[in-house]
A and B are shown apart, each in its own frame.
Chain A
């Protein structure tokens, strides 16, 4: 696991109500059974943890932890 994926898994843990083992391939919404508002709340935590901006527009193409890690890494470099 990359460092970003590890950090995302840790950030995701408080939203993991059903005890799923979280990894890079975890689908954030369907595997953890969390609704759209909760996904946005999680992304807000990610934004603040990495001090980056993740517009809601990119979320429609971001399903797994690995997808989100790519977004985070691209935006961390940019900043």
Chain B
């Protein structure tokens, strides 16, 4: 039997999507003009689905730092840090991030996905149990699977449900317990109710990891994420994050204060058996983290833009992913064909957002997902609201009968 025969349903679904217009999962940015503008299908398009929260990807100092590193360290590291050794830049980056995060230790990974694979599988093993939020990102699920730990899923953002599930597992002898939350959930834009979970932590005594992928750089007085915003960092044992959003590069990190934290380097296969990040990416990340520390106005502008989009959409009567202002603003749509049709209409009118369909979404929702950037102008945000008003709020939001 042909191994790829099982992909026939995916091929059919992809063909259905493409038949309705552009390829919603294969958009090509022909040219990048700025953090918030690209040429797509020959048209200048506002980018509102790229997680470029700080709008830092074209920053002159970051670009110069990357160019310098390319010239001084070359194009690639050609191997893992365990085998080939680190470049001084890797250690510089880890020191900078540890200082920014106010943590004793930080380990960088080649991608954000690998940061979760590495941290889950390094922290938990086959005798341990990981309790993960039902809406966790795929990298968390995959890292949990890689760990070999017992995996228990609790209802999204429901600390009482976690409490109940921890109590059910209490009879099991031995093994550690890791609870995994996210600062901002990537699809709906909602935050974890951290104080509620920490109350459960005090009752049951597990170790807590928060993935701040979408909240790092974004939330908190220091931009360290949800735990910073909530003033609860001392109750969070491990932090994970990515360089591909607020930092505008590629890579990821894990951080913590545990005395054995550095030993994770020799226990995490996704760290040990892959090439380390390229010099240019590391150098731009160092430059970017300095900018995030020195320029809190980026966070303020992002918060203003997020509020502007959130309230603009609310005023249109759109049903949103969550009831709080967040740089992730998801609009709930009736069904898959209408979502695809509206996504195409938005793209043609000049705004790129993400299309999010089951099973990539919670509760079988079909979403048009926007991510806001500090680099969006007020006029950009107003244009996005105007286009959603024309395309989503008026008529197109109704179910498409054929499809």
| Chain A interfacial positions (CB closer than 8 Å to B) | 35-38, 40-41, 44, 47, 51-53, 55-57, 79
Contact yes or no, B152 A35, CB < 8 A: no
Evaluate contact between A35 and B359: CB separation under 8 angstroms.
Answer: yes
Which A residues touch B144, using CB under 8 A?
Answer: 56
Are A51 and B134 touching (Cβ within 8 A)? no
Q: In the complex, A55 Cα to B169 Cα: how many Å? A: 10
* Pair B165/A38 contact, Cβ less than 8 Å: no
Considering only CB atoms, which chain B residue lies closest to A55 in the complex? B150
Answer yes or no: B362 CB below 8 A from chain A CBs. Answer: yes
- Choose from A40, A53, A55, A79 the contact partner of B134 (Cβ within 8 Å): A40
Cβ contact within 8 Å between A41 and B168: no
B403 within 8 A of A: no
Given A36-B359, A47-B168, 20 more A-B residue pairs with CB atoms under 8 Å apart are A37-B358, A37-B359, A38-B358, A38-B359, A41-B363, A44-B134, A44-B155, A47-B165, A51-B168, A53-B152, A53-B165, A53-B168, A53-B169, A55-B150, A55-B152, A56-B152, A57-B150, A57-B151, A79-B168, A79-B171
Contact of B358 among A35, A53, A56 (CB under 8 A): A35
Task: Check: B127 CB closer than 8 A to any chain A CB.
Answer: no
Contact A41 B134, beta carbon cutoff 8 Å: yes
Known: A44-B134, A53-B152, A55-B150. A37 touches B362 (CB 8 A): yes
In the bound complex, residues from chain B placing their C-beta under 8 Å from that of A40 are 134, 153
When each residue 116-130 of chain B gets 1 if its CB lies under 8 Å from chain A and 0 otherwise, what string results?
Answer: 000000000000010
Residues of A within 8 Å of B150, CB to CB, are 55, 57
Cα A35 to Cα B168 in complex, Å, equals: 27
Chain A CB within 8 A of B300 CB: no
The reply to whether B168 and A56 form a contact with Cβ atoms under 8 Å apart is: no
With CB as the reference atom, state the residue of chain A lying closest to B363: A41
Are B153's CB and A56's CB within 8 A? yes
CB distance from B178 to the nearest CB of A (A): 14
Residues of chain B within 8 A (CB-CB) of A35 are 358-359
B326-354 CB mask vs A (1 if < 8 Å, else 0) is 00000000000000000000000000000
What 0/1 pattern do residues 37 to 59 of B give for CB contact below 8 A with A?
00000000000000000000000
Chain B residues near A57: list those with CB within 8 A: 150-151
- Cα(A44)–Cα(B225), bound, Å: 30
B14 proximal to A (CB < 8 A): no
Contact of A56 among B151, B171, B362 (CB under 8 A): B151
16 contacts between A and B (CB under 8 A): A36-B359, A38-B359, A38-B364, A40-B153, A47-B165, A51-B168, A52-B168, A53-B152, A53-B165, A53-B168, A53-B169, A56-B144, A56-B152, A57-B150, A79-B168, A79-B171
Contacts of B134 in A (CB 8 A): 40-41, 44
Closest chain B residue to A39, Cβ basis: B359
Which A-chain residue is minimally distant from B358 (CB atoms)? A35
Complex Cα gap A35–B359 (Å): 6
B151–A55 touching, CB < 8 Å: yes
A-contact 0/1 string along B355-378, CB 8 Å cutoff: 000110011100000000000000
